[in-house]
Chains A and B, each alone.
Chain A
Amino acid sequence: MRQSTFLAALLAPATLFLGVFFLGPLLIIAVFSLLTPGLYGGVEWSFYHQNYGRIFGWADGIMEIYEPVYLQILLRSLGFAALTVGLCLVICYPVAFWVARLPPRARLFCLFLVTLPFFSSLIVRLYAWLLILKPSGLLNQTLLATGLIQTPLEILYTQSAVVLGLVYVMVPFMFLPLYSAIDNLDRSMVEASMDLGANRVQTFTKVVLPQTLPGIIGGAVIVFIPSVGNFIVPDVLGGAKGLMVGNLVEQQFLSARNWPFGAALAMIVMGVVLATLLYASARARSAAHA
């Protein structure tokens, strides 16, 4: 009994903090998404379901018009986020294996390097990418000088630049959970598998992959969620042409002054993310039981 009181006391600050600063704002967004937009921002306290109607197709067609564009933008954002997850995984998986086999000091140094980008502001780093990718930038100058290309590559202000930027931002978030899963890999099982006659592919799919799956799922979730809502990368590197749902939400709260519609969009993004999370955690649980 004393122990559980002690535990409750320890958990109280975190619970209180999350309750006030996470659940509170979430509740505000949920309520706002069902209210009438104020003419100059803010909300009017009357129920209004058309914020969702504009997105899903039951708008009245007079004050609010249903347009498929919002679902298109959402789908595009999900696609970009999924692509980002895939690319981050392909980049990080082999690297995490390599790092896990380094001597302890080198390993620590590598982990330090992975976290190094967090020491400077994201905006500054994205503008650095702008300088690298632009036609007269570092990348094109180098490629031109080596004769690999004759005319500058058009990367900046394309969707490729957006995905590149997202992958760059998200790689550390994929690497760290992968690394911890791979570091904990039971190597004697790998040896046993090889000794018992499994080939490399079988060993990988039957032994290595299942053991590292929780790390893969963890990394995928942590990369996917912020990628869906990112609006800075498409703004800076995409030239605001490839609109993502994050840009749309930002626009509703600022230039369009339509807070309830922005809140409705945010709720839908949150719903999608929540569904992804539930699916991922179900997968992780079944993987753990396998």
Chain B
Amino acid sequence: MKVYALALGLMASAASIQAAGAETLALYNWGDYINPEILAGFTAETGIEVTLDTYSSNEEMLAKIQAGATGYDIVFPSVHMNDIMLKLGLLEKTDINLSPGFAAIDPANLRSKEDPDSAYCLPYAWGTVGIFYNEKVTGPITGWADYFAAAEKGAKVTLLDDMREVVAVGLIMTGKSVNSTDPADLQGAVDYLLSQKSKVAAFTYDSMSMLTSGDIGAAHFFVGGNVFFTQTPDVKYVIPVEGATMYQENICVLKTAPNKAAAKAFMEFYLRPEIAALNVAQQFNGTANVPARDLVPDFIKQNPTINVPAETLTRLQIFEDLGAGLKLYDRAWNTIRTAQ
């Protein structure tokens, strides 16, 4: 009986400690997609302990949240997934657009169709998907035509192991929208990709180390890959002339978030230009925070493939939610990967 009372007492005091101090914030983000200094800085300033779990695709994150994973406060969906999550009622309204620092956000980055005013989510980061190439192996590459031509001449090239990104290459090369749900457009993209498939060594995300070691000549990858090639002048990144995709992730608070106040505090922390710039300096991608664009390191500011000029922006497309049309892409992707 005594032991029982003691245990109860211990439990009670443990609970009160948790209630009194030690506020926490649980982030669920893509792997390697936030500068750890930001998390440390946030904890140092607010005393809120931050935990970070990672995922490797929007769908993985959605599947876990749909399956009832709780305990996460903030997720970082791509814009089309942000829209899906809003339609499914998974996100919490934060009124982040009423916060004083919100004026720093470029209206062009308010891309969510379901949340055009950013009442729910805050633009986090954006970037392009293009081609990394070793100029000594492939010669200069300006776009997909050069990429496949280099492959024809014997350079090993890889595409991403990603359904939408690979089908997008076919759609771009046949002059269609990367969000088309017209079966004829998809068929055209599949035909184009099948005609090129024999030249593609692999569909993989492991291409950056293979490019470093010289095992491949060119790779389809995210602009963030530049992190690996600051000391290798031969390896270059290009946003294809024919057109390319871009991505943007937003910071969203889950409806099931246990620490909504801490989550809002984190969003406001991230609104500060110096914090957004800190992320760019480590991630090598774009920010929606206009004043932050002047605070990033010079070599990033002067790199037109990272700090993208307006005329390049016009040839970028962003993925949208396809609804039932996703089936067309699934079938296309199976056909592309199965063909011998």
Contact = CB atoms under 8 A, between A and B. Distances in A.
Interface in A221-256: 235-236, 238-241, 243, 247-248, 251-256
A41 interface: yes
Where chain B touches its partner, the secondary structure class is helix
Given A134-B215, A136-B215, A241-B202, A255 B330 contact: yes
B161 interface: yes
Q: How large is the interface on B (under 10, 10 to 19, 20 to 34, 35 or more residues)?
A: 35 or more
A69 interface: yes
B201 A239 contact: yes
Given A240-B337, A243-B337, A40 B203 contact: no
A239 B338 CA distance: 12
A157 interface: yes
A252 B87 CA distance: 21
Contacts of B163: 251, 255-256
B204 A239 contact: yes
B208 to A, nearest CB: 13
Nearest to A68: B338
A34 interface: no
B214 A243 contact: no
B211 to A, nearest CB: 11
A130 interface: yes
Interface string B185-200: 0000000000000001
A235 B206 CA distance: 10
A248 B57 CA distance: 16
Contacts of B162: 255
A239 B323 contact: no
A40 B329 CA distance: 14
A40 B338 contact: no
Contact of A135 (B62, B215, B323, B335): B215
Interface residues of A, number: 36
A257 B158 CA distance: 25
Contact of B331 (A39, A41, A65, A127): A65
Contacts of B206: 127, 130, 236
9 A-B pairs with the lowest CB-CB distances in the bound complex, closest first: A239-B202, A256-B330, A240-B203, A157-B202, A254-B59, A240-B161, A243-B337, A134-B215, A255-B163
B66 interface: yes
B40 interface: no
Contacts of B204: 157, 239-240
24 contacts: A39-B323, A39-B324, A69-B334, A69-B335, A69-B338, A134-B210, A134-B213, A135-B156, A136-B214, A137-B215, A156-B215, A157-B201, A236-B206, A239-B204, A241-B337, A248-B334, A251-B163, A251-B333, A254-B60, A254-B63, A255-B57, A255-B164, A255-B330, A257-B59
B315 interface: no
B5 interface: no
A67 interface: yes
Interface in A13-57: 39-42
B327 A136 contact: no
A239 B94 CA distance: 42
A72 interface: yes
A254 B158 CA distance: 22
A212 interface: no
Interface in A56-72: 63, 65, 67, 69-70, 72
A41 B333 contact: no
Contact of B327 (A134, A236, A258): A258
B119 interface: no
A41 B324 CA distance: 11
A83 interface: no
B262 interface: no
A73 interface: yes
A67 B335 CA distance: 9
B19 interface: no
B7 interface: no
A241 B203 contact: yes
Contacts of A63: 324, 327
A256 B326 contact: yes
B6 interface: no
A257 B201 CA distance: 27
B254 to A, nearest CB: 16
A246 to B, nearest CB: 13
Contact of A239 (B203, B324, B331, B334): B203
A134 B323 CA distance: 39
B88 interface: yes
A107 to B, nearest CB: 39
A40 B84 contact: yes
Interface in B310-330: 323-324, 326-327, 329-330
Contacts of B335: 67, 69
A240 B63 CA distance: 22
A258 B325 CA distance: 12
B201 A136 contact: no
Contacts of B330: 251-252, 255-256, 258
Interface in A247-278: 247-248, 251-258
B326 A240 contact: no
Contacts of B84: 40
